[in-house]
Amino acid sequence: MAYDPLLARIDQLSGAFNAGQIDRRQFLKGLVGLGLSLPAISVIVAACSTAATPSPAALASATAVPATASAAAASLAAMSPTAMATADLTALIAAAKAEGDIYQTGIPPEWVNYQAIFDLWKQDYGIPIDGTATEGEYSSGQELDSIKNTGKPDVGDVGIAFAVQAKQQGLSAPYKNSHWDDIPDNAKDADGYWCCNYWGAQAFAVNTDAVKIPINDWKDLLDPSLKNAVGIDGDPTKANDSFFAVWSAAIANGGGVDNIQPGIDFMNKLQQSGNLTAARASDANIISGEVKIAIKWDYLGLAVRDKAAGAPNITVTIPSSGSLASPYADIIAAKAPHPNAAKLWQELIYSDAAQLLFLGGYAHPIRYNVLNAAGLIPAGLAAKLPSADLYKNVTLVTDITKITAAQAVLGTGWKIVINS
């Protein structure tokens, strides 16, 4: 048999592992570094784990690993798609654990029930999560800046327009999770550079202990009693949440999906009236009463309502004249320090379990229709969601061309300072 340097290197690693010269983590890192497919790694590791320790003569021979590689190839060829997927995931888990860590940007625990998903990740894989304390509250724009300038992040959770920017700027890497076919074509990149995971609609979260008038629509925000009371969730040129707040305001003021300018004009009018505060509509500012009416995603408003637990009392409603909805997408950093952990994170967040956890955080999971058709949504969970009637005037926006055009107009026309 002709000498094959790849097989020789596999032989060397396998021999060192079986002889106890390297540990499992070092073995996996070595196999991953050779560029082997995940199923092949899985079969090789399984073969080494069950094999008796070879003699020195066997270790010196080049025939042992070619035989293992041949067996691996035969096993993979005989695998059903389900078995292949299982082998893939088993090897991916092993490779992710060998990396020892995952660094996240822009994924705060209070957002769409991420804390429960963090807990699921740690329960299933035990891999430490870093970045939450330092970058968890980053806006979509800040996430891309971190990926570009620090090289720390493995994954980020960004607005769909920022996901497109990440691909255009070479900041993201392609990966198609095992639930790829369940996800609508307009909610994923055809080449795998981003994939939407949930969506929400812009809503009003109102502190009814402080606000004594009904707040049902955009015009109500101009009432003279609301001085310094209304807030959005950060700078809309950098934060996807507040970008959609401004864009949604256009609907009731002569604009819409094709024209964001009336939304900018409305926010200028709100500021000139003295009603728009520079304070960010964060959970802390809402609960403290600094922001009395927050314009933000419905799932965030509902979550802070639960968090406040009546201190203060908060109601959440969709503007009666209409609002916009949009998905967020998960991206893997192009130079992720822990690429396998990043891929495993995507496998987790698109799984049935994590998608239902998103639903428990009041977000609309991207695989909702598939889960519902399969009868996997508990009745008690469905009962917690806002009435479908509230969403009759909500428009879901996924058209990248329209989003990009609106961002361009906002970028030149927005002059208001909002604290981040």
135-153: pLDDT as tens digits: 999 999 999 999 999 999 9
- Note the pLDDT of residue 44: 74
Alpha carbon distance, N-terminus to C-terminus of the chain: 64
Q: Helices 400-413 and 240-249, interaxial angle, to 10°?
A: 90
Residue 1 has pLDDT above 60, yes or no: no
Confidence bin at 31 (pLDDT 50/70/90)? confident
For CA atoms 67, 68, 71, 73, give the dihedral sign. Answer: negative
Give the span between the Cα atoms of 407 and 411, in whole angstroms.
6
**pLDDT at position 39, please?**
53
pLDDT of 318 higher than 60:
yes
Backbone phi, then psi, for 333, in 5-degree steps? -65, 140
What is the pairing mode between strands 323-333 and 394-396?
A: parallel
- Considering the domain delimited by 100-198+327-389, tell me its CATH architecture: 3-Layer(aba) Sandwich (3.40)
Over 60: is that where the pLDDT of 66 sits? no
The predicted structure's pLDDT at residue 385: 74
Q: DSSP 3-state assignment of 143? A: helix
| Mean pLDDT calculated for residue range 247-274 | 96
Predicted confidence at residue 38, as pLDDT, reads: 58
Specify the pLDDT at position 56.
34
Cα torsion 338, 353, 124, 80 to 10°: value is -80
pLDDT band at 67 (very low <50, low <70, confident <90, very high): very low
Instruction: Specify which residues 192 forms β-bridges with.
Output: none
Question: Nearest 10 degrees: CA dihedral of 196, 153, 23, 88?
Answer: 10
Mean pLDDT score of the chain, rounded to an integer? 87
What pLDDT sits at residue 391?
87
Instruction: Say whether 197 sits in a helix, a strand or coil.
Output: strand
80-101: per-residue pLDDT in tens? 445 545 558 899 999 999 999 9
Across 151-157, average pLDDT:
97
What is the pLDDT, as a whole number, of residue 87? 57
In sequence order, what are the beta bridge partners of 408?
none
pLDDT surpassing 60 at residue 126 = yes
Q: What is the pLDDT of residue 9?
A: 75
Among candidate residues 411, 203, 420, the one with its CA nearest the CA of residue 320: 203
Instruction: Assess whether pLDDT exceeds 90 at residue 13.
Output: no
Model confidence, pTM: 0.75
Residue 125 scores a pLDDT above 60: yes
How buried is 44 (Cβ within 10 angstroms: 0-12 exposed, 13-18 middle, 19+ buried)?
buried
pLDDT beyond 50 at 73? no
Distance CA 172, CA 259 (A): 30
- pLDDT score for 387: 78
User: pLDDT-derived band of residue 19, with 50, 70 and 90 as boundaries?
Assistant: confident
Nearest-angstrom CA–CA distance, 184 and 197: 11
Q: How far apart are CA 229 and CA 209, in angstroms?
A: 13
pLDDT tens profile 355-410: 999 999 999 999 988 998 999 988 888 777 777 788 889 999 999 899 999 999 99
Over 70: is that where the pLDDT of 46 sits? no
Check: CATH 3.40.190.10 for 202-297+308-325+402-413?
yes
Looking at residue 269, its pLDDT comes to: 97
**Is the fold of 100-198+327-389 the same as that of 202-297+308-325+402-413?**
yes
Confidence at residue 354, expressed as pLDDT on a 0 to 100 scale? 96
Does residue 282 contact residue 295 with C-beta atoms inside 8 Å?
Answer: no
- Which sequence spans correspond to the domains of the chain? 5-98, 100-198+327-389, 202-297+308-325+402-413
More confident residue, 388 or 205: 205
Least confident of 7-16, 46-55, 219-228: 46-55
112 pLDDT above the threshold of 50: yes
pLDDT score of 63: 31
